[in-house]
Amino acid sequence: MALNDLLQRTKSGFYEILFRGSTAFPYSNDLMHIGIIGTVPFLFSKYGAQFLGNYVPFLKNNSDLIGFGCAVASELIWQLYLEPKSPYDHPEDKNSDFKGVLETAVGAGLAYLVTKLLR
């Protein structure tokens, strides 16, 4: 039972951290969604693909597409697995789900534009 208790406390702590961050100030939940689910996966996978592209050229040539794909995958993991298990989820609120998809697109899109401008 000790392992089960540890996993339950870890899961509760994870959702508590997300809740505190998303209620820190007005619209902080939107900024967290844009950053954590949109921007971070895009940048991590884009530059990871460019690094691995030194060995596999296909990855370097398609790093932007891989970045967008990972942002979409992050949103799917959030919408289909993590959010429904959260004690703070409101399953009847579909507008927030659509807003989250839009925020992910904004985060990945902004990251894409910034990386293009910094070249």
Q: What is the pLDDT of residues 2-22, one digit of tens each?
A: 767 766 777 777 888 888 888
Please give the Cα distance from 41 to 108 (Å, whole number). 8
Rounded CA separation 107/31 (Å): 9
Report yes or no on 6 lying in a domain: no
Structural domain includes residue 21: no
Q: How many domains does the chain have?
A: 1
Cα–Cα distances (Å) from 71 to 26, 53, 58, 82, in that order, read 24, 19, 19, 15
Which pLDDT belongs to residue 7? 65
* 60 is a domain residue: yes
Between CA 4 and CA 10 the distance in angstroms is: 10
pLDDT of residue 1: 54
Among 51, 69, 72, 68, CA closest to 60: 51
User: Domain containing 83: what range?
Assistant: 32-117
Q: Which stretches of the chain drop beneath a pLDDT of 70?
A: 1, 3, 6-7
7 within some domain: no
Give me the helices (H) in 1-119, please. 2-22, 28-32, 40-52, 57-61, 63-77, 83-85, 94-117
